[in-house]
């Protein structure tokens, strides 16, 4: 893997594959030594971008990454990204985008990651209860203190991305230099607005769930739909009684046939598709095992021709998300009835 891409207008060069660490810790791989082996293999393959979050396994993912980098002495080789926002423990003020929490959360992440600085610090989801100027102000202070280098957002709707850019300009502070949205062959909604906005503002884009939560691994087929912990926890994304999931299964069958015709695995087709969009910088792979990682690294050598891309567009039209539950974020205006009804 010799290709590197600029992260927006930062001048920072990152690999097209970003190693996601969500499955390190009790959510997935319990053994930090095995996590370190996977991290080492990714770095040896040319990956220089690692992404995690404090909420993953309630801090264990960051701990696994920190142990691996400290033991290997390769911290300076990588662009290290993590995220804050999710609730970290019981009681009030243990999450969100407030200054109070950000100042606490960054120190906790630095300790778990065993590093003096975080290259990219991202807010994991929009926080409608906190003024974006407060969040950006706190993050700007952390840049000036040397604790973080750049800031980014994750799963922000396009209008909130624009609002954040305007707020940064008003304050004269640091801005979000990248966005981390969901994007896959089955979840293409960001093509309509998020990707164009990111391109307009010179933001990098790091896409998550390029395999659509396992749907594009080849395991989900008409004659064999596996049971998993994810399907039990997120029935809205896996229950085949729902029309959106039936549509996904139909699309997977056609995409698998297309991959076979093109001489590719479905995984290679799926990952290469996300990297073909000019607005995408890197795509996050989140392996739980070494086998998973090896099956994903080969995508960087795949170049999808226009004929294959046209066939993909016929199966899942541009800008289409087959199941709205896969968008990763539902604004409270849709999920809270009181916000839609006059008292």
Q: Whose CA is closest to 296, among 21, 69, 18, 29? A: 18
Q: Whose CA is closest to 286, among 210, 338, 219? A: 210
Helix axes 266-276, 290-297, angle to 10 degrees: 60
End-to-end Cα, the chain, rounded Å: 58
Q: Whose CA is closest to 41, among 17, 58, 8, 12? A: 17
Instruction: With beta carbons less than 8 A apart as the criterion, state whether 1 and 32 touch.
Output: no
Q: Whose CA is closest to 285, among 37, 248, 275? A: 275
List Cβ neighbours of 155 (8 Å cut-off, separation of 6 or more).
124, 125, 126, 180, 181, 182, 328, 329
Instruction: With beta carbons less than 8 A apart as the criterion, state whether 7 and 281 touch.
Output: yes
Read off the tokens for 168: 């940064």
Cα 4 from Cα 307, distance rounded (Å): 26
Question: Rounded to 5 degrees, what angle do the CA atoms 67, 72, 74 make?
Answer: 105
Helix axes 99-113, 60-72, angle to 10 degrees: 40
Cα 335 from Cα 126, distance rounded (Å): 14
Q: Give how far Cα 309 sits from Cα of 57, 272, 290, Å.
A: 37, 10, 29
For residue 56, indicate whether it is catalytic.
yes
Handedness of CA 158, 159, 165, 168 (dihedral sign): negative
Instruction: With beta carbons less than 8 A apart as the criterion, state whether 322 and 187 touch.
Output: yes
Report the catalytic residues: 56
């Amino acid at each position: 893997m010799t290709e590197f891409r600029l992260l927006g207008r930062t001048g920072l060069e990152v690999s097209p594959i970003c190693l996601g660490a969500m499955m390190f810790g009790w959510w997935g791989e319990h053994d930090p030594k095995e996590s370190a082996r996977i991290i080492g293999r990714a770095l040896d393959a040319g990956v220089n971008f690692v992404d995690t979050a404090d909420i993953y396994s309630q801090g264990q993912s960051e701990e696994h990454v920190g142990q691996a980098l400290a033991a290997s002495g390769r911290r300076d080789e990588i662009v290290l990204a993590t995220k804050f926002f999710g609730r970290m423990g019981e009681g009030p003020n243990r999450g969100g985008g407030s200054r109070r929490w950000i100042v606490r959360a960054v120190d906790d992440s630095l300790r778990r990651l065993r590093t003096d600085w975080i290259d990219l610090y991202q807010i994991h989801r929009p926080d409608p209860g906190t003024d974006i100027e407060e969040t950006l102000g706190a993050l700007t202070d952390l840049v000036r203190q040397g604790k973080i280098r750049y800031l980014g957002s994750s799963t922000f709707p396009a209008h909130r991305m624009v609002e954040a850019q305007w707020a940064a300009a008003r304050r004269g502070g640091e801005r979000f230099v990248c966005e981390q949205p969901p994007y896959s062959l089955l979840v293409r909604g960001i093509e309509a607005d998020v990707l164009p906005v990111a391109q307009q503002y010179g933001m990098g884009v790091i896409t998550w769930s390029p395999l659509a939560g396992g749907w594009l691994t080849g395991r989900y087929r008409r004659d064999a739909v596996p049971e998993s912990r994810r399907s039990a926890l997120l029935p809205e994304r896996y229950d085949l009684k729902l029309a959106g999931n039936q549509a996904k299964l139909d699309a997977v069958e056609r995409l698998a046939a297309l991959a076979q015709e093109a001489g590719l695995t479905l995984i290679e087709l799926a990952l290469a598709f996300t990297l073909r969009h000019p607005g995408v910088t890197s795509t996050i792979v989140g392996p739980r095992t070494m086998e998973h990682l090896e099956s994903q690294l080969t995508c960087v050598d795949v170049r999808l021709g226009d004929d294959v891309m046209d066939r993909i567009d016929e199966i899942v039209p541009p800008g289409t998300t087959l199941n709205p539950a896969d968008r990763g974020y539902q604004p409270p205006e849709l999920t809270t009835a009181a916000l839609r009804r006059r008292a």
